[in-house]
Structure 1
């Protein structure tokens, strides 16, 4: 196989100049594989290639002639031990283990190594902490605060209300929200079509309050901000371009901050809140999985633990023999 081919993956592979050329080329080829064949997000490509570059730097330490075929179980364990010694969090170790397992598997499939030591690499899983969510009353107050800010029909206020309403109504990710186009909204059926992880499209419903916010934004707010740079984007920044994730995070933080006693949340916190409230309202777990776009039901099951934890907290507070 020609490992020196010129076609490289676009995007955030980062410089590999610190590595010997014989190793650096594999980092670039792995990034190309993740981007073009596995269809991983730019964030995932960046994280995985950073981890692999760290592993190969460890491999090349004192061995300038090292090859990827030299990676064995001892190499992987020694590299992870360095991460632990440097104070890396348990969740970070779990992710780095996943990264190098993916890499060593790819080495074998692409004919660059005969054996896959990653299959024998064990690592303690990351602790799954329960996400912080709003109580139903707090969520309602956040929506009221967003609506009151939009009453004067200022374009930015109308947009901010749509952001908060849609994130809570649908549970979509912030990247999915920012990527929404006008034709991704079906106002008659009250659904949005979003492109999730792995470029998987799904349809998510929303309710009457979000429908009202969308109608006012499209009719009044968006026309006031639209420019030649707007394209089909549903949500726009103050200069008319497609809104960015940083702007959305600021909007959400400010909306939640307006409610006394509410925990500070990012957009993903509204996603957690939406999922928890759906389950507490009696929604089937698999329906929630489909709404959130989770590939595994185990990921969605985290929200059942959130509901149980909240029930236990209320019980301990209210029951005389708790």
Structure 2
């Protein structure tokens, strides 16, 4: 009698365990490769991925590091055992010319640091393989003189990531409203998209969510808050896919609802607007697309840019400005910095401070009130 499926599976598993892995497969010498350098490089990356997985790094982090290693290989025209600091320097300079921020470039460089440390580690035998096959060994091409250092609390573009002024908010959401109103009155195909966009950007402004977080919101992520019964089931937004630590899984946080208009917009969309605009859509997705899928961060960028340009706002503004606006609004309302930090999901209060840029109107109001003078938001100072 033949062996059953379970026996065959076990036999295959045993053969797989006995087969040489990583560098050992090349030291074995029993396999002939048509393109030996490419085979060695691919095997390096495969074992590097296993090593990163053993450290518990997320799949996206591992894939990103592999992409950057392949990118350096392509841009330099050299294999890892041929890399020199000059190759790495030229690759880094190219990213700077492309407009990468210092923080982004540092992340890219750290990926190469990790890969070079792996292939140069004698415990993984890649040095022995490369010396035997190519007469060269992988080297650590990074050092303290060609890596970006972290010298400041904030390394982004200050002009791009800032809160919107009141005038800019009015202009932006006026276009949002006009698009939805016009499309609905003319029965245009884009009516559903226009209404979804309105809810999407109000959600980002009303709960301070990032693009990825906003795209991942489900209807059931809204919960009741016993302390604010006036908001009904929209008293809390549970963010399930908040920004993770490097290499870690997404974090979670609960954002308390602060603004009645945000709760009302979410309620109207969930109870009536979503099903009317997207009949038959998955019952859990808050912000669907015309193809009944989930909107992506890239689509959020494109929708924001389209509205921003129509509103005549500076082209460096991006959706993250709505999160900055949310944080600044809470500070101007008198919220303690620690509570704003919790709402935004920041680990360090210094990060939250970067998000706050008090408006001129607010500073004028505080100044005049400290001098015993009344302030009217519409008319200005009143003695």
Do these two structures clear the TM 0.5 threshold for a shared fold by scoring above it? yes
Q: CA deviation at 1:30?
A: 3.2
Please tell me whether the aligned partners of residues 171 and 275 of structure 1 are also in contact (alpha carbons under 8 angstroms).
yes
Counterpart check, 1:146 vs 2:185? no
Q: Distance in 2 between matches of 1:253 and 1:295?
A: 30
Q: How many angstroms apart in 2 are the aligned matches of 1:282 and 1:122?
A: 44
The question of whether the paired residues in 1 share the 8 Å contact of 2:234 and 2:263 is answered with no
CA distance in 1, matches of 2:221, 2:111: 34
Question: In the alignment, which of 103, 124, 127 is matched to residue 115 of structure 2?
Answer: 103
Q: 2:325 aligns with which of 248, 273, 278?
A: 273
Distance in 1 (CA, whole Å) between partners of 2:283 and 2:36 is 41
Cα deviation for residue 23 of structure 1 reads 2.9
Tell me by how many angstroms 1:233 deviates.
0.9
* Structure 1 position 219, deviation (Å): 2.0
CA contact (8 A) 2:116 2:140 kept: yes
Structure 1 residue runs of 5 or longer lacking an equivalent are 6-16, 316-322
State whether structure 2 residue 254 is matched by structure 1 residue 203: yes
Q: Matched residue of 1:202: which SS?
A: strand
Residue equivalent to 1:124: 148
Does 1:88 pair with 2:96? yes
Contact 2:88 2:141 in 1 (8 A): no
- Which of the residues 275, 278, 299 maps onto 1:247? 299
The corresponding residue for 1:14 is: none
Gaps of 5+ in 2: 1-19, 25-34, 128-138, 186-190, 224-231, 245-249, 365-383
Aligned to 1:294: 346
Render the CA deviation track for 1:59-90: whole Å, top value 9, x for unaligned: 993xx7x76xx98xxx4x33332225547346
Q: Distance in 2 between matches of 1:129 and 1:48?
A: 24
Aligned length: 290
1:156: which partner in 2? 193
Please say which of residues 174-183 and 140-149 is displaced more in the overlay: 140-149
Change in 2 beyond 3 A, CA 1:101/1:84:
closer
Deviates more, 1:177-186 or 1:121-130: 121-130
Change (3 A) 1:79 1:264: closer
Following superposition, the deviation at residue 250 of structure 1 comes to 3.4
- Tell me the alpha carbon deviations over residues 146-165 of structure 1, each in whole angstroms, 9 at most, x when there is no partner: 34555659543332221110
Residue equivalent to 2:275: 223
Instruction: Give the 3 Å change call, closer, same or farther, for CA 299–87 of structure 1 in structure 2.
Output: same
Q: 1:21 to 1:160 in 2, by over 3 A?
A: same
* Alpha-carbon distance between aligned partners in 1 of 2:192 and 2:281, rounded to the nearest angstrom: 17
Please tell me whether the aligned partners of residues 132 and 272 of structure 1 are also in contact (alpha carbons under 8 angstroms): yes
Alignment pair present for 1:193 and 2:256 = no
For 1:110 and 1:284, the matched residues in 2 are separated by 52
Match of 1:165 in 2: 202
Please state how far the C-alpha of 1:135 moved relative to its aligned partner: 0.7
Residue 375 (structure 2) aligns with: none
Secondary structure of 2:96 counterpart: coil
The answer to whether the aligner puts 1:183 opposite 2:220 as a matched pair is yes
Q: 1:302 to 1:213 in 2, by over 3 A?
A: same
**SS of alignment partner, residue 286 of structure 2:** coil
Does the 8 Å CA contact 1:19/1:56 hold for their aligned counterparts? no
Q: Aligned in 2, Cα 1:182/1:2: closer, same or farther, shift over 3 Å?
A: same
Shift of 1:189: 5.0
Which is worse superposed, 87-96 or 20-29? 87-96
Q: Is the 8 A contact 1:275 1:288 kept in 2?
A: yes
1:167-189 residue CA offsets vs partner (Å, 9 max, x unmatched): 11122111111111111112535
| Higher CA-based Rg | 2
Cα deviation, residue 303, structure 1? 2.6
- Matches of 1:261 and 1:273 in 2, distance apart? 15
1:30 aligns with 2:76: no
1:20 counterpart residue number: 38
Q: Could you report, residue by residue, the CA deviation over 1:112-165 in whole angstroms, capped at 9, with x for unpaired residues?
A: 379988685652347543124311332244345434555659543332221110
When residues 86 and 212 of structure 1 are mapped into structure 2, their CA distance, relative to the original with a 3 A threshold, is closer
